Amino acid sequence: MEGSPLPDAAAVKTSRKSAGLGSALLASFCWLSAVACAPESQTAGGSVMYQEVMASTDPARAGRLVPGSAEEKAAIARFSDFLCSLTPAGVQDKTRQVYAEDAYLNDTLKEVRGVAAIEAYFLKTAQAATRITVEVLDVAESGGNYYFRWTMEIVHPKLADGRPSASIGMSHVRFDAQGKVVLHQDYWDSGSAFYAHLPVLGWLINWVKGRL
């Protein structure tokens, strides 16, 4: 009795590669869906926490630094210096000088509340990276809201094979009466600077970009 013909070795190899890629893509889509449908309370205007902080720190009600005052200039300088000092030592030395006790941070990758949590998050980030270089290009103010435009270059052993990864962004900041940050919301190209360098997910993002 004749047995069934053996499959071609190359076909088997290709089939296995396709199956592996399919599984990886499925995992990526599941991850993206999980992020998009996370159980955290979200609205079109951001998380509930973000909206609460936006309301509670509204300069029209909570007060603001006097435009052009020495206190305002010092607060802007402190925050700019902090962004440019994202090393483990810089984070440990300066976070509590810059952020208020109940400060809010969202860098598009993580949402954190409270100066202790912010310090821990920045410290973990700085320790994991080989180097983080930020240059503040300019600062604009409108009604007690401050906008810091910056460029950032990250060297991380697990991103882009350890090569520098550059990005551009802006931080929306509000200060309290003491000149400490109470709100820090980042807007930056995390897709190109971070997600695009992750295994499988990065390939997927670049594939989608190529199809547009």
The domain ranges of the chain are 11-38, 42-197
Question: How does pLDDT run across 84-131, given as a tens digit for each residue?
Answer: 999 999 999 999 999 999 999 999 889 999 999 999 999 999 999 999
| Backbone phi and psi for residue 135, each to the nearest 5 degrees, phi listed first | -125, 120
Q: What is the pLDDT of residue 157?
A: 76
Question: Using an 8 Å Cβ cutoff, are 152 and 137 in contact?
Answer: no
Task: Specify the 3-state DSSP secondary structure of 45.
Answer: coil
| Backbone phi and psi for residue 68, each to the nearest 5 degrees, phi listed first | 80, 0
Residues belonging to the chain: 212
CA 95 to chain centroid: 17
Helix segments in 42-189, DSSP class H: 48-56, 59-62, 70-83, 88-98, 115-128
Q: What is the pLDDT along the chain (212 residues), one digit of tens a residue?
A: 555 455 555 544 444 544 444 554 444 444 444 444 444 555 556 789 999 999 999 999 999 999 999 999 999 999 999 999 999 999 999 999 999 999 999 998 899 999 999 999 999 999 999 999 999 999 999 999 999 999 999 887 766 566 778 889 999 999 999 999 999 999 987 555 554 444 544 444 444 445 55
DSSP 8-state assignment for residue 200: T
* pTM: predicted TM-score of the whole model, two decimal places: 0.72
Which CATH class, in words, describes the domain spanning 42-197? alpha beta
